[in-house]
């Protein structure tokens, strides 16, 4: 009897569990990226520099955020108002009493303090230098980190000293109209060769947000407070600071830290939605389902075949006897014993009984009948008998 060998190519075998894990990596990675961007990006912890009588408007979404915590490091009486479903309006100008402060600015040194001003507010600076002979003294206002231009000032007749033009006058004045909500910094820069003592008077007409419609309120007089947000409406909150100053407060930073407590339930739901979308895409691409349409046309192929069942059923003879006759040994040795002579491309390479009537996806090899192909698909290691690649599905060929 002639001996024949089927040559195969070795490839790594991927189990179904590994394939499922690989499909889960994509939605998990996408969910992590979205969650990190939302949690630590737009709704990440932030610090706000405020001043006296400040009114800071904050907008957030109760879908992503469960509660907001405000922390006043200086414990000066921060108030947090919540429950606004619409942005509150700015009230008319609310003046607060003038604030006077005495500064001693060293050589090539700077002193500055912060104020939070809303659109439409006005601020007036009056200062007096207690020495007669000085050359370069800069008094200016900056919005955030951008220095205001000279054209932004209302009173241009007395603002030359603000931008450092040499003047020996001991007094100065500047007035500014606020055009945008932001933190504003009043700075004093001494470019003289000696220290300068300066007294400054600050007066402002402020516009603050209306808090009469607030449904919740908390005070950070002990250092921190927390407000819960009602689900699922968007929320507006107002941070308010008292109008009075204490001695020594003017040249210090008034910093408030805001923390957002995430709503974990929404992130879990978001994960489920992303996983469902990714699996639907994979299903449409044909990588998650298996084709069983051939079972409808072949009733006997529906019976499950175990690994212990013989390939040839008892009492069933082979219709074709390619390479199985012992009397061919004498003459067949004179001919080619290649796999092409044994398997002419029509006989199943597993049972040598039925014709090849299916092929594997994604490798595309057509080497078995549908019954043997189903038996391979029912095994844990679903690999092609030709190339040993992992099989996603098998498709049946129908003869015309």
**Most confidently predicted of 28-42, 83-97, 248-262:** 83-97
Residue 290 has a pLDDT of 44
Residue 54 has pLDDT above 50, yes or no: yes
The residue that leads in pLDDT, 252 or 232, is 232
Residue 329 has a pLDDT of 45
Q: Is residue 150 part of a domain?
A: yes
Residue 148 has pLDDT above 70, yes or no: no
pLDDT one-digit tens code per residue, 271-323: 778 777 877 887 777 654 444 444 444 444 444 555 555 555 555 444 444 44
The SS3 call for residue 137 is strand
Q: Tokens 């979308």, residue?
A: 277
Mark whether 97 and 202 lie in a shared domain: yes
Residue 252 has a pLDDT of 53
Number of domains, the chain = 2
Q: What is the dihedral of CA 82, 84, 85, 87, to 10 degrees?
A: -120
Structural domain for 305, as ranges: 16-23+291-396
Task: State how far the alpha carbon of 297 is from the alpha carbons of 222, 301, 302, 365, in Å.
Answer: 78, 9, 10, 22
Residue 22 has a pLDDT of 59
Residue 245 has a pLDDT of 52
pLDDT band at 27 (very low <50, low <70, confident <90, very high): low
Q: Is residue 228 part of a domain?
A: no
Query: What gap in Å lies between CA 116 and CA 374, rounded to an integer?
Result: 74
Q: Is residue 362 part of a domain?
A: yes
**CATH number of the domain bearing residue 343:** 3.30.40.10
Mark whether 197 and 303 lie in a shared domain: no
Rounded to an integer, the average pLDDT of 339-357 is: 72
Among 25-39, 64-78, 353-367, the minimum mean pLDDT is found in 25-39
Among 82-91, 310-319, 355-364, the minimum mean pLDDT is found in 310-319
Single out the residue in 207, 240, 269 at which a domain terminates: 207
Single out the residue in 207, 224, 247 at which a domain terminates: 207
Mark whether 97 and 199 lie in a shared domain: yes
DSSP string, 125-136: EEEEES-S----
Q: Is residue 77 part of a domain?
A: no
Mark whether 202 and 300 lie in a shared domain: no
Rounded to an integer, the average pLDDT of 222-228 is: 85
The residue that leads in pLDDT, 47 or 370, is 370
Mark whether 300 and 197 lie in a shared domain: no
Mark whether 193 and 297 lie in a shared domain: no
pLDDT band at 260 (very low <50, low <70, confident <90, very high): confident
Q: Is residue 74 part of a domain?
A: no
Q: Is residue 2 part of a domain?
A: no
**CATH number of the domain bearing residue 135:** 2.60.120.380
Span between the terminal Cα atoms of the chain, in Å = 36
Q: Is residue 264 part of a domain?
A: no
Rounded to an integer, the average pLDDT of 128-137 is: 74
Single out the residue in 207, 235, 254 at which a domain terminates: 207
pLDDT band at 328 (very low <50, low <70, confident <90, very high): very low
Q: Is residue 6 part of a domain?
A: no
């Amino acid at each position: 009897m002639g001996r024949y060998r089927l040559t195969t190519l070795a490839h790594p075998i991927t189990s179904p569990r590994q394939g499922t894990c690989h499909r889960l990596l994509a939605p998990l990675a996408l969910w992590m990226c979205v969650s990190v961007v939302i949690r630590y990006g737009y709704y990440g912890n932030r610090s706000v520099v405020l001043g006296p009588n400040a009114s800071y408007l904050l907008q957030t979404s109760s879908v992503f955020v469960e509660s907001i915590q405000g922390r006043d490091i200086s414990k000066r009486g921060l108030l947090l108002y919540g429950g606004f479903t619409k942005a509150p309006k700015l009230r008319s100008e609310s003046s607060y009493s003038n604030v006077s402060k005495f500064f001693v600015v060293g050589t090539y040194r700077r002193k500055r303090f912060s104020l939070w001003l809303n659109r439409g507010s006005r601020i007036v600076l009056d200062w007096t230098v207690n020495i007669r002979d000085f050359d370069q003294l800069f008094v200016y206002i900056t919005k955030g980190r951008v220095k205001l231009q000279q054209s932004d000032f209302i009173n241009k007749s007395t603002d030359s000293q603000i931008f450092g033009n040499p003047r020996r006058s001991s007094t100065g004045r500047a007035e500014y109209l606020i055009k945008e909500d932001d933190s504003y910094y009043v700075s004093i820069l001494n470019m003289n060769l000696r220290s300068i003592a300066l007294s400054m008077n600050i007066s402002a007409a402020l516009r603050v947000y209306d808090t009469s419609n607030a449904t919740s309120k908390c005070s950070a007089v002990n250092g921190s407070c927390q407000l819960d947000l009602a689900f699922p409406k968007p929320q507006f909150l107002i941070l308010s600071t008292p109008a009075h100053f204490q001695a020594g407060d003017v040249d210090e930073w008034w910093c408030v830290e805001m923390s957002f407590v995430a709503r974990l339930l929404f992130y879990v739901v978001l994960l489920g939605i992303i996983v469902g979308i990714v699996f639907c895409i994979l299903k449409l691409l044909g990588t998650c389902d298996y084709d069983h349409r051939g079972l409808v046309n072949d009733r006997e192929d529906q019976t499950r075949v175990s690994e212990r069942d013989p390939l040839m059923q008892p009492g069933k003879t082979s219709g074709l006897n390619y390479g199985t006759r012992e009397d061919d040994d004498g003459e067949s040795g004179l001919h080619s014993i290649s796999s092409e002579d044994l398997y002419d491309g029509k006989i199943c390479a597993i049972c040598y009984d039925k014709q090849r009537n299916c092929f594997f996806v994604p490798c595309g090899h057509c080497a078995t009948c549908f019954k043997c192909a189903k038996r391979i698909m029912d095994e844990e290691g679903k690999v092609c008998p030709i190339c040993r690649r992992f099989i996603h599905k098998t498709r049946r060929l129908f003869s015309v």
